[in-house]
Amino acid sequence: MLGDKLVRVDGVDCMGIVRDDIKRRVLGPADSEIVLEFQRAGQSFFMVSGSREFPLLAAVEGFSTS
């Protein structure tokens, strides 16, 4: 069984969007608000919201601010 799947970024469906475009949407403008919607395998959807803070995002594997 796989982990959580990102399905929407700020209300935009990720299906059919290339990874680089999704990354751009996730990074967005500094200090702006973000809403991520995930689907957990075998369960319903859930949302996570917060502020885009680049030092935190840069520490997440696969994200870069450059």
More confident residue, 6 or 55: 6
Residue of 4, 25, 3 whose CA lies nearest to 14: 25
More confident residue, 28 or 10: 10
Mind listing the pLDDT tens digit for each residue in 23-64? 899 888 888 999 999 998 878 899 999 988 765 555 555 555
**pLDDT computed for residue 66 by the predictor:** 53
**pLDDT computed for residue 61 by the predictor:** 52
**pLDDT computed for residue 35 by the predictor:** 94
**pLDDT computed for residue 53 by the predictor:** 77
| The 5-9 sheet, strands edge to edge | 12-13, 5-9, 33-39, 45-51
